[in-house]
Structure 1
Amino acid sequence: MSRYPESVDVAIVGSGPTGAAYARILSEQVPRARVAMFEVGPTVSDPPGAHVKNIEDAEARAAAQRRSEGPGAGEATVDNPGAVKSGERRARPGTFLLSDGYRVDDEDGLPVAAFSSNVGGMAAHWTGACPRPGGSERIAFLPDMDELLDEADRLLGVTTDAFDAAPFTALVRERLAAVVDDGREPAAQVQRMPLAVRRREDGRLVWSGADVVLGDVTRGNPNFSLHDESLVTRVLVEDGRAAGVSVRDLRTGDVHEVRARFVVVAADALRTPQVLWASGIRPEALGRMLNDQTQVVYAARLRDVGPAAAAQVAASGALSEQSGVSWVPFTDEVPFHGQIMQLDASPVPLADDDPVIPGSIVGLGLFCAKDLQWEDRVEFTDQPDPYGMPAMRLRYTLTDRDRAVLERAREEIVRLAKAVGEPLGDRPFTMPLGASLHYQGTTRMGEVDDGRSVCGPDCEVWDVSGLFVAGNGVIPTATACNPTLTSVALAVRGARTIARKLSFV
């Protein structure tokens, strides 16, 4: 017998934060609705979708990461910027690279475009940063954007006080603010980074994954089911309306059809257009306006700090208990977003007689907004990828404006490094394109159906009623800030639309 239901009210493709947001809102607002979620990768954590950093045993955590690497499992990975400098194309643990088609001759491409395949998606591996968009990052035609962002904060469990006790966090912010804040609106001044994290009673940090978005209400919903190792190969369309999905059980190879009143494709910004393309759903804007964030990184050693302040604080997880995480917001005048946090060790070898005070080495990262271009896109070929889906080819080029902004970011990050301490290394390092993992725009939202967008303001695909898209690909603006909070906010809007329609069925 099939492990899948014959029919449901809503089929969700993908188990990351946005797919989880649809399941959560539907469980809260229409709990009688039957909802099935399909994920191509395995379950690697308990509860399903939890962040792997919450796995305390190092060997178990590494095993969960390997199981998330899909067709890249077993290949060498790297998890620090220093190793990237060698020029090797390596994915970070828990992810796998696009093996081919990542660059076309005479274009820049996205050489380290990466994916994860596991319940929870990339949210099982992310840094948890949830800044709000500002200026031109915001979607001007959505009047309820702030309320949607508030709801996304709730679903992701966003806080700003998790590192308030860190001894160096106020010092880092003060030094940054001294060179950044002048002339900025309060909302754009240096501040704590909003993070999807909470602190347990025993003091340990718990990072939010899709499990937090799903919440107890979804896990306890008898009408919700989660199916891992299940590849949705296409959306079924009848008479211009979504009618279900075709699913291949990766455990057995069997193919099943699951009928549905509504279908949500939330399979990341590259695989969501892939599913639509494979389904014959090919609006002109599909895959277009692909954009990522170029990323510049540097490091500095905090000056004038002693060991006493940090002696009683132990590091936990990938981010610092000593210097916290600070945020330099994007503005239209300074078009990059800054994230400043501790590095576990100096990227530059220090003398043996020059010991490192815990928390005193901070990493600085600036993310640049892309100059949006219609020709930047993901295309699909007749060749199969490792899952048997249409193989991808990325068309991607930096403009003169992109290069000018990137040069400004290099200059700015040196200025910020000097403000907080002593810069380490001769110059900042520009990460390979695709390293931010913040791919956007490929199923972009539009206010009207003018051929330049895939879906409307409620995330419903223009030409196929009942079909919704979710994820970073829906964001229509050029952003420099981490996109997860925005994409979850947009998923809330779409989920509420389905909930309203189901309430009348």
Structure 2
Amino acid sequence: MPHDDASSEGRPARADVVIVGTGPAGAAVARILSEQRPDLMIIQFDAGPIVSDPPGAHVKNLSEGDRRTAQRRSEGPAPAASDISTDTLDGYASHDERIVRPGTHLLAEGYRQSGQDGLPALAFSTNVGGMGAHWTCACPRPGESERIAFLDDLDELLDEADRLLGVSAGLMADAPLAHEVRERLSRGLDHRRTRAVAPMPLAVREEPDGTLWWSGSDVVFGEATRKNPRHRLVAETVVTAVRTESGRVLGVRVTDRAAGESYEVDASIVVAAADAFRTPQLLWASGIRPPALGRYLNDQPQVVHAVKLRDVAPQSLGPAGGPIDVLSGVSWVPFTDAEPFHGQVMQLDASPVPYEGEILPGEVVGLGWFCTKDIRAEDRVEFDAAAVDEFGLPAMRVWYELTEQDRDSIERARRAIVDVGDLLGDAVFGEPLEFPPGASLHYQGTTRMGEVDDGTSVCDPDAQVWGITGLYVAGNGVIPTATACNPTLTTVALAVRAARAIAARADKTVLTEQTQDLSHA
């Protein structure tokens, strides 16, 4: 897996497949193609820098100093000051409308239109690995109406996504007090629910020395991609247009950010896997504008609460020792149609707000309830042809409102999280907090998948854009359903489906070695 920071030497001229973006979805496409079609020449671009070795690693795996540097370098053209905290728990109980997390950068303007709710906490990560370098690694499976009904192979795809992400359901199941937390949750909830409380499936593995390795895109890329001599990663290079002619992909136009120079790469297959905003932005800038592009935008309204476990017997604390991690254990209250929330119950080794007295590992429990959004075509991102963003692409303008159905769902979640908190312990910061729209970072729907080309979707079930042969989309934006669960597992599953389709259809586009040599001449 040769890779470059921005460099004018040896610029690629031609490929079989160009992948735009290196988050878990783009990495999954590269991995499946490397495994199934090692004959294909793959060029993968990212607008951001390489911030870790191996490229795309989760920042939790880095030393404190390297983590701080990686987070700052992921924060776009205007990173936070060096003295700003890199602790992801900071701001957990914040009332700030424009809450921002380390390793991300806010949309500077255009996040709200007059009289609307907007997405004030809308944020991005610009680095190799994307948001996959900074996420929680929670990988719950969608259930009931969250599932995509027209995909008969969804469960097998989710199994494959588990493999690529390295998901384990039991790694933290034996953390201090985790059994006590799940027992209390199960006793209070399972009798009335169609999906039972369980340990949260996490994309984490335990190393031989007992340390944890959190999955980023590096795990998804895997050795198959890193050892693929026909896969090349080009960082700090913005793809500014997908070139097409007569409904067929010709390649891409890119800009080397370091040199400020543009060039073209020929390819008959392009996979746009940036994120739920920058993928539709690229298509729009390329003149590819199906009616649903940028529409059906949905975030997951989020309510948070924290409690300190009550009535914990000393013998329940397990062996003495230092904390396992920032998280001691994670439990899962799955989404159901009757209770349309996804609950993420995180045992912490520190209180998210100042707390007097001793805090034992796993004794403070943070609860995050994510709600489904009332999905509407009116909720959308548009692009301004008269203005550009910091990367030279059309500026974003977000139109987004919480409906009465959404507000009712949030209020139900608020009541539910208090009830669940009461099953566990005593509130740490009083009433639950509602995070501002956009804070979940789980943006979906803007390049949604559909069963038929009826104007309400951007791509077909294989993620190929309607009417453009050779153009595929990947990322959270492809998910067409209203979900409350963390989207990464589903996103990787859909990227697997797209990659398999590309692998099966690419026979007529394979470059001969002679053609490849001529393209560099």
The TM-score normalised by the length of structure 1 is: 0.96
2:95 and 2:435 in contact (8 A); partners too: no
Q: Residue 96 of structure 1 aligns with which residue?
A: 105
1:307 and 1:358 in contact (8 A); partners too: no
Counterparts of 1:15-414 in structure 2 under 5 Å? 15-55=22-62, 57-75=63-81, 79-80=88-89, 82=91, 85-87=94-96, 89-185=98-194, 188-306=195-313, 309-310=317-318, 312-320=320-328, 324-351=329-356, 354-381=357-384, 382-414=386-418
Q: Residue 491 of structure 1 aligns with which residue?
A: 495
Partner Cα distance (1:437, 1:128) in 2: 13
Tell me how far 1:2 sits from its aligned partner. 4.2
**Match of 1:228, as an amino acid?**
A
User: Secondary structure in 1 aligned to 2:149?
Assistant: coil
Query: After the TM superposition, which of the residue ranges 308-317 and 427-436 deviates more from structure 2?
Result: 308-317
Partner Cα distance (1:349, 1:154) in 2: 39
Partner Cα distance (2:321, 2:494) in 1: 38
2:72 and 2:79 in contact (8 A); partners too: yes
Tell me how far 1:89 sits from its aligned partner. 2.5
Tell me how far 1:82 sits from its aligned partner. 4.2
1:77 and 1:92 in contact (8 A); partners too: no
Q: Residue 515 of structure 2 aligns with which residue?
A: none
User: Secondary structure in 1 aligned to 2:304?
Assistant: strand
Partner Cα distance (1:81, 1:375) in 2: 34
Partner Cα distance (2:95, 2:381) in 1: 27
**Match of 1:447, as an amino acid?**
E
Partner Cα distance (1:492, 1:431) in 2: 32
Partner Cα distance (2:109, 2:400) in 1: 14
Structure 1 residues 449 and 88, CA gap change in structure 2 (3 angstroms): closer
Query: After the TM superposition, which of the residue ranges 42-51 and 77-86 deviates more from structure 2?
Result: 77-86
User: Secondary structure in 2 aligned to 1:244?
Assistant: strand
Tell me how far 1:504 sits from its aligned partner. 4.8
Partner Cα distance (1:239, 1:51) in 2: 41
2:335 and 2:484 in contact (8 A); partners too: yes
Counterpart selection for 2:469 from 458, 465, 469: 465
Long gaps (5+) in structure 2: 1-7, 510-521
- Provide, for residues 283-336 of structure 1, a one-character-per-residue CA deviation record: whole Å limited to 9, x for no partner: 11000000000100000101122556255242244322xxx1000000000000
Q: Residue 419 of structure 1 aligns with which residue?
A: 423
Partner Cα distance (2:336, 2:156) in 1: 21
2:99 and 2:436 in contact (8 A); partners too: no
Partner Cα distance (1:419, 1:393) in 2: 43
Partner Cα distance (2:294, 2:91) in 1: 32
Structure 1 residues 479 and 237, CA gap change in structure 2 (3 angstroms): same
- Provide, for residues 258-287 of structure 1, a one-character-per-residue CA deviation record: whole Å limited to 9, x for no partner: 001100000000000000010000111000
Structure 1 residues 86 and 191, CA gap change in structure 2 (3 angstroms): closer
User: Secondary structure in 2 aligned to 1:70?
Assistant: coil
**Match of 1:325, as an amino acid?**
V
User: Secondary structure in 1 aligned to 2:15?
Assistant: strand
User: Secondary structure in 1 aligned to 2:192?
Assistant: coil
Partner Cα distance (1:482, 1:368) in 2: 11
- Provide, for residues 150-196 of structure 1, a one-character-per-residue CA deviation record: whole Å limited to 9, x for no partner: 000000000011113312111100001111101333xx100010100
Partner Cα distance (2:354, 2:265) in 1: 57
Structure 1 residues 4 and 315, CA gap change in structure 2 (3 angstroms): farther
Query: Between Structure 1 and Structure 2, how many residues are aligned?
Result: 497
1:77 and 1:90 in contact (8 A); partners too: no
Counterpart selection for 1:455 from 453, 459, 467: 459
Partner Cα distance (1:219, 1:11) in 2: 16
User: Secondary structure in 1 aligned to 2:244?
Assistant: strand
**Match of 2:367, as an amino acid?**
L
Partner Cα distance (2:494, 2:446) in 1: 15
Tell me how far 1:462 sits from its aligned partner. 0.2
2:93 and 2:352 in contact (8 A); partners too: no
User: Secondary structure in 1 aligned to 2:137?
Assistant: coil
Tell me how far 1:5 sits from its aligned partner. 1.4
**Match of 1:42, as an amino acid?**
P
Tell me how far 1:72 sits from its aligned partner. 3.1
Query: After the TM superposition, which of the residue ranges 487-496 and 2-11 deviates more from structure 2?
Result: 2-11
Tell me how far 1:8 sits from its aligned partner. 0.4
Q: Does 1:433 align with 2:441?
A: no
Tell me how far 1:355 sits from its aligned partner. 1.9
2:122 and 2:441 in contact (8 A); partners too: yes
Partner Cα distance (2:21, 2:495) in 1: 13
1:245 and 1:257 in contact (8 A); partners too: yes
Q: Percent identity?
A: 59
2:171 and 2:205 in contact (8 A); partners too: yes
**Match of 2:491, as an amino acid?**
S
Q: Residue 519 of structure 2 aligns with which residue?
A: none
**Match of 1:253, as an amino acid?**
G
